[in-house]
A and B are shown apart, each in its own frame.
Chain A
Amino acid sequence: MASPESDAAATPVAPHPPVAPTGPADRSRAGVGYARRVWRRFRRNRRGLIGLGVIVLLCVLAFLSPIIAGRYPIVCRHEGRLHAPAVVNVLHQIPFVARLVQQSKPFRFAGFDAKAALPEDAFAIWPLIPYGPLETTQQSQQSPSREHWLGTDEVGRDIASRMVHGAVVSVKVGVVSMGIAALLGIVIGGPAGYFGGWTDAVVSRLIEIVMCFPVFFLILSVMVWLEPDILNVMVVIGLTRWTTVARYTRGEFMRLKSCDFVSAARAAGAGPVRIMFRHLLPNSLAPVLVTVSFGMAQAILIEAGLSWLGFGVQWPEPSWGNILRSGFDQIRVAPYMVYPPCVAIFVAVLSYNLVGDALRDAVDPRIHDQA
């Protein structure tokens, strides 16, 4: 796992602030003017930049996980033909591309076990960590070595590889659950703020009721009831954590609806839906983004906690939570196993929080400067 110090040196940051990876992305073109100003302020915050760098790195790591760690070579020659099984695996991670490329021959999953099928001297470029997350080796419970950078677990799986693939879960949980939460929060909170009156009364009570649910225990009971599956975890987190987004959206809509530009839009003949989602929403995304950023940190923690308890990602699929769990079970024999997931969770959560903090400072009009 990358440490934050090394990332600080080479912050490869996107040219835009972290515009919600979810929600109304199609408005990005229209929002550039405002987004650029926010980005300019965000950029001055060093901690925020470090956090952003770590998050970007984490996303890249998750996306490229088959190339970085896996049992399939990046490129190899098999029976006289060139194959790139790890690259294929990366492509298959992209939701819609997967369906498209499945049919065409060069992009099918590797139909051979590279490690067994390839002769010793065959041409092959292996990933940095040439072990799959589920691949067992002969050596179990080995402490870190050149062969296994972070050691192996009780059945001989490479922990470094499992850590890399565990990042996928963490990124997914953050994005999907907060995506659901942001969407729900905007759709429910927006009309409440815009229309006020009865709509607002009903929605506000609903928000208060949902806020009373203890998220973690709710998820626990849902997981007992449903199949323990990572998708269910993401949905339940999304279904319970929309309240903050809803409250902010409601407040922003309330504040903005009496603005002159809203009257102007109304006088130009715009209906309520257009006013809410085209005029008000882009103006109130800032606090939503901040909430989403903090919420992602929360979601990662919840997922790790659930996986630790055995309700999240199911063993032997890797996740930081269940790597930590198996390390915890053998803390006397193999104490090295608990450090990587602990550090990873800590760094990821910290980064999301740093970004949330910096974003909040960047969009707060009270410390507005002449950017």
Chain B
Amino acid sequence: MTDANGDNAPLLEVHDLHTRFHTEEGVVPAVDGVTWSARRGETLAIVGESGCGKSVTALSIMRLIPPPGRIVSGRVLLYENPDKPPTDVLALPERRMRGIRGNQIAMIFQEPMSSLNPVFSIGDQIAEAVALHQGLRSTDAMDAAIDMLERVGIAAARQRSREYPHQMSGGMRQRVMIAMALCCDPSLLIADEPTTALDVTVQAQILDLLRDLQNKRDMGIVIITHDLGVVAQIADHVCVMYAGRIVERTDVKELFKNPMHPYTIGLLESLPRTVAHSGRLKCIPGSVPNPAQFPEGCRFHPRCPLTRRLADESPARPREEFGSSGDVLLRCVRGTPNARGGQPDLLEVRPGHFVACWESEGYDAAAGSGRSS
């Protein structure tokens, strides 16, 4: 299913998604203008630290944001059929949305330990999902469930289908979750940190399994993770998120070869390496800011090495001050054409490589030519 450019057909497009939580502390812009697209047969990874809005993005697509959260604006276009115009998932009535969940877009969660209902046998749980969407009789649904369990690599599936979640290991349970998600043959699978709770060997098995199932079904996968190792193993495209915004978006090879946003660079440098390892691991100082009080200007600036470095330099050079942290004035290397408090846009600084940093090479040119995402 490829178009003229050799690209796979689009499956899901997220346009300028804004999700806010209206809490007592104020309005929290958990997802603030996120745009990306997923294609059939490809894997998109969304990477970022905890609290950067990865999971909220996923839940927004499923329309499962718990109150007080609300999707304020944006569009989520689902191409159910490649030949027909897409449907805007956010505009559907709840009843139709239920038909899409599990059927068109399936989701697996981070905690295989608690994502299965403790009082049902796993066979029952998968069969329920099958029966729900395909209207099969219970015996047929159970057969489909057992078949699915076999396909995710559970041996003696018929016996194991009678077991309860507490009788299974974490890796097994994640396989069950995957079986449950895939039993209705969804075109898109959203995996929210599917391997975080598992140990490394099991993690590799699960990722292989996802890859394998993806190839067989031409399914799109959106994988949410904080682990760049997982990204390298499975992703085709990557979105790096920070504080509710995408700071860098490109394909996986480009990201590892030529990271441009200082946050991405920081993430990559904080990875332990097996060769030529010397001294301490680098890390990004500080932590993700409280979403209720995001810093003015570029949200990464309090932690950004580029602003840090400049703060020590002579302030005599004509640069625009664009944000402050405490008493110390901070600047970027080259300042910004935006007004104070503005944020860098996600611009295509190289073909297929989008970055939201005033400092990145080619940013001004991209801004000048108006090539935004």
Using a CB–CB distance below 8 Å, which chain A residues touch chain B? 30-31, 33-34, 258-261, 263-271, 274, 278-279, 282-283
Q: Which of B99-107, B204-212, B246-254, B264-272 contacts A (4 or more CB under 8 A)?
A: B99-107
Q: Are A261 and B103 in contact (CB under 8 A)?
A: no
Q: Are B66 and A258 in contact (CB under 8 A)?
A: yes
Chosen A-B contacts, 19 in total, with CB atoms closer than 8 Å, are A33-B119, A33-B164, A259-B114, A261-B115, A261-B117, A261-B118, A263-B64, A264-B107, A264-B115, A264-B177, A265-B117, A267-B101, A267-B109, A268-B102, A268-B106, A268-B132, A269-B100, A269-B102, A283-B119
Interfacial chain B residues near A33, Cβ < 8 Å: 118-121, 164, 166
Q: Are B119 and A31 in contact (CB under 8 A)?
A: yes
Interfacial chain B residues near A265, Cβ < 8 Å: 117
Q: Are B124 and A261 in contact (CB under 8 A)?
A: no
The distance from the CB of B69 to the nearest CB of chain A, in whole angstroms, is: 13
Question: Of A259, A267, A274, A279, which one neighbours B62 at CB under 8 angstroms?
Answer: A267
- Given A258-B66, A263-B109, A268:B180 Cβ within 8 A: yes
Interfacial chain A residues near B118, Cβ < 8 Å: 33-34, 261, 283
Q: A266-B64, A271-B98, A279-B117 are in contact. List 11 more A-B contacts (CB 8 A).
A: A33-B164, A34-B119, A259-B114, A260-B109, A261-B115, A263-B64, A264-B108, A268-B102, A268-B106, A269-B98, A283-B119
> Which of B2-59 touch A at CB < 8 Å?
none
Residue of A nearest to B101 (CB): A269
Question: Of A30, A267, A278, A283, which one neighbours B107 at CB under 8 angstroms?
Answer: A267
Q: Are B101 and A264 in contact (CB under 8 A)?
A: no
Q: Which of B66, B102, B108 has the most CB of A within 10 A?
A: B102
Q: Are A30 and B100 in contact (CB under 8 A)?
A: no
Residue of B nearest to A281 (CB): B119
Q: B218 interface residue, CB < 8 Å from A?
A: no
Q: Are A260 and B119 in contact (CB under 8 A)?
A: no
The distance from the CB of B340 to the nearest CB of chain A, in whole angstroms, is: 40
Q: B133 interface residue, CB < 8 Å from A?
A: yes
Residue of A nearest to B162 (CB): A33
Interfacial chain B residues near A30, Cβ < 8 Å: 119-121, 124
The distance from the CB of B90 to the nearest CB of chain A, in whole angstroms, is: 16
> Which of B94-140 touch A at CB < 8 Å?
98-103, 106-111, 114-121, 124, 128-129, 132-133
How many Å lie between the Cα of A265 and that of B118 in the bound state? 13
Q: Are A283 and B132 in contact (CB under 8 A)?
A: no
Q: Are B115 and A260 in contact (CB under 8 A)?
A: yes
Interfacial chain A residues near B106, Cβ < 8 Å: 267-268
How many Å lie between the Cα of A181 and that of B99 in the bound state? 35
Q: Are B117 and A269 in contact (CB under 8 A)?
A: no
Interfacial chain B residues near A270, Cβ < 8 Å: 98, 102, 132
Residue of B nearest to A261 (CB): B117
How many Å lie between the Cα of A260 and that of B180 in the bound state? 14
Interfacial chain B residues near A259, Cβ < 8 Å: 114
Count of residues in B whose CB is under 8 Å from the partner chain: 33
Interface of A is mostly: helix
Question: Of A31, A264, A283, which one neighbours B109 at CB under 8 angstroms?
Answer: A264
Residue of B nearest to A266 (CB): B64
Tally of contacts, chain A with chain B, CB under 8 A: 76
The distance from the CB of A125 to the nearest CB of chain B, in whole angstroms, is: 46
The distance from the CB of A17 to the nearest CB of chain B, in whole angstroms, is: 14
How many Å lie between the Cα of A37 and that of B98 in the bound state? 34
How many Å lie between the Cα of A270 and that of B124 in the bound state? 14
- Given A33-B164, A269-B99, A270-B98, A261:B114 Cβ within 8 A: yes
Interfacial chain A residues near B133, Cβ < 8 Å: 269
Q: Are A260 and B114 in contact (CB under 8 A)?
A: yes
The distance from the CB of A284 to the nearest CB of chain B, in whole angstroms, is: 10
- Given A268-B132, A278-B128, A261:B101 Cβ within 8 A: no
Residue of B nearest to A33 (CB): B164
Residue of B nearest to A264 (CB): B115
Interfacial chain B residues near A266, Cβ < 8 Å: 62, 64, 101
How many Å lie between the Cα of A287 and that of B199 in the bound state? 36
How many Å lie between the Cα of A282 and that of B117 in the bound state? 10
- Given A33-B121, A34-B119, A265-B117, A260:B111 Cβ within 8 A: yes
Q: Are A261 and B116 in contact (CB under 8 A)?
A: yes
Question: Of B102, B124, B128, which one neighbours A267 at CB under 8 angstroms?
Answer: B102
Residue of B nearest to A37 (CB): B166
Q: Which of B109, B114, B119 has the most CB of A within 10 A?
A: B119
Residue of B nearest to A259 (CB): B114
The distance from the CB of B118 to the nearest CB of chain A, in whole angstroms, is: 6
Interfacial chain A residues near B111, Cβ < 8 Å: 260
Q: Are A283 and B101 in contact (CB under 8 A)?
A: no
Question: Of B117, B121, B180, which one neighbours A283 at CB under 8 angstroms?
Answer: B117
Q: Which of A30, A31, A34, A268 has the most CB of B within 10 A?
A: A268
The distance from the CB of B131 to the nearest CB of chain A, in whole angstroms, is: 11
The distance from the CB of A263 to the nearest CB of chain B, in whole angstroms, is: 6
- Contact code string B309-324 (vs A, CB < 8 Å = 1, else 0): 0000000000000000
- Contact code string B57-101 (vs A, CB < 8 Å = 1, else 0): 000001010100000000000000000000000000000001111
Q: Are A269 and B115 in contact (CB under 8 A)?
A: no
Return the 6 tightest CB-CB contacts between A and B, nearest first. Answer: A269-B102, A268-B102, A33-B164, A269-B101, A267-B107, A260-B114
The distance from the CB of B178 to the nearest CB of chain A, in whole angstroms, is: 12
Question: Of B114, B121, B129, B166, which one neighbours A268 at CB under 8 angstroms?
Answer: B129
- Contact code string B357-370 (vs A, CB < 8 Å = 1, else 0): 00000000000000
How many Å lie between the Cα of A267 and that of B103 in the bound state? 10
Residue of B nearest to A258 (CB): B66
Interfacial chain A residues near B121, Cβ < 8 Å: 30, 33
The distance from the CB of B277 to the nearest CB of chain A, in whole angstroms, is: 37
Interfacial chain B residues near A269, Cβ < 8 Å: 98-103, 129, 132-133
Residue of B nearest to A267 (CB): B107
The distance from the CB of B152 to the nearest CB of chain A, in whole angstroms, is: 16
The distance from the CB of B50 to the nearest CB of chain A, in whole angstroms, is: 16
The distance from the CB of B327 to the nearest CB of chain A, in whole angstroms, is: 41
How many Å lie between the Cα of A268 and that of B184 in the bound state? 9
Q: Which of B64, B117, B180, B181 has the most CB of A within 10 A?
A: B117
Interfacial chain B residues near A274, Cβ < 8 Å: 132
The distance from the CB of B55 to the nearest CB of chain A, in whole angstroms, is: 10
Interfacial chain B residues near A283, Cβ < 8 Å: 117-119
How many Å lie between the Cα of A65 and that of B116 in the bound state? 46
Interfacial chain B residues near A260, Cβ < 8 Å: 109-111, 114-115
How many Å lie between the Cα of A274 and that of B66 in the bound state? 18
Residue of B nearest to A284 (CB): B119
Q: Are B64 and A267 in contact (CB under 8 A)?
A: yes
The distance from the CB of A368 to the nearest CB of chain B, in whole angstroms, is: 11
Residue of B nearest to A279 (CB): B117
Residue of B nearest to A271 (CB): B98
